Amino acid sequence: MRVGTIPLIKDSRGIQVCLVSTTKDPSLFTFPKGGIEEGEEYFDTALRELREEAGMRGKPILNKRAVLVESDLAPEKDTLYFFIKVNKIDKNWPEKYRRKRIQVYLDDLDKVPLNDKAQNILMQMRQMGLPETGKKLKPKKNLKKFLKSFMPKLSQNQTIRL
pLDDT tens-digit series, residues 36-91: 999 999 999 999 999 999 999 999 887 777 888 887 777 788 888 999 999 999 99
Q: Which distant-in-sequence residues (6+ apart) come within 8 Å of 160 by Cβ?
A: 66, 67, 68, 151, 153, 154
C-alpha dist (Å) from residue 43 to 5, 32, 58: 9, 13, 11
CB atoms within 10 A of CB 152: 13
pTM here is 0.86
Domain boundaries, the chain: 2-161
21 CB neighbour count, 10 Å cutoff: 20
Superfamily of domain 2-161: Nucleoside Triphosphate Pyrophosphohydrolase (3.90.79.10)
